[in-house]
Amino acid sequence: MSLDIGIGDGTHPYPSTDEPLLQLNEGGLYSTLAPFFGRLAEETGEWIDLYGDASFDGRKLAALKRTIAEARAANQTRPDSWDVHVNTRITPIVKKNYAQLTKVELIDCLDMFDRIIARAEALGQPVVCFGD
């Protein structure tokens, strides 16, 4: 369960391996960003999902850029590390599962998003998300 995020060529759903690339897995980073991705999907119709594909260009790319800035601003006051609810197992007993996330990991992820977006803008190409 991983999601590759990078620069597309406008014809394929997967990102170029010759450009900056971000991988998200089921875990604290994705779970922390998921509410922001949900609001982005409401605006653009593109959902950043571990299992699906999405493409952002034009106004959708501008919305993605704004969303990443909002995620950064909303998480500025986080402690150095915290536990993030990542999933709930329902059988044989209900158990909530958590992952520890550090502020450095989150900032690194958001910085990579910014680099990918800036490169896509410079190249005139979309940011693509390819889930498995």
**C-alpha 98, offset from chain centre:** 18
- Confidence grade of residue 132 (pLDDT, cut at 50, 70, 90): confident
Instruction: Say what the pLDDT of residue 1 is.
Output: 65
Q: Taking the domains of the chain in order of start, what are their residue ranges?
A: 2-131
Determine the average pLDDT of the residues in 21-45.
96
**2-131 has CATH 3.40.1760.20 classification:** yes
- Tens of pLDDT, residues 92-130: 999 999 999 999 999 999 999 999 999 999 999 999 999
**132 HSE (CA, 13 A, CB side):** 9
Q: How far apart are CA 31 and CA 92, in angstroms?
A: 23
Reported pTM: 0.93
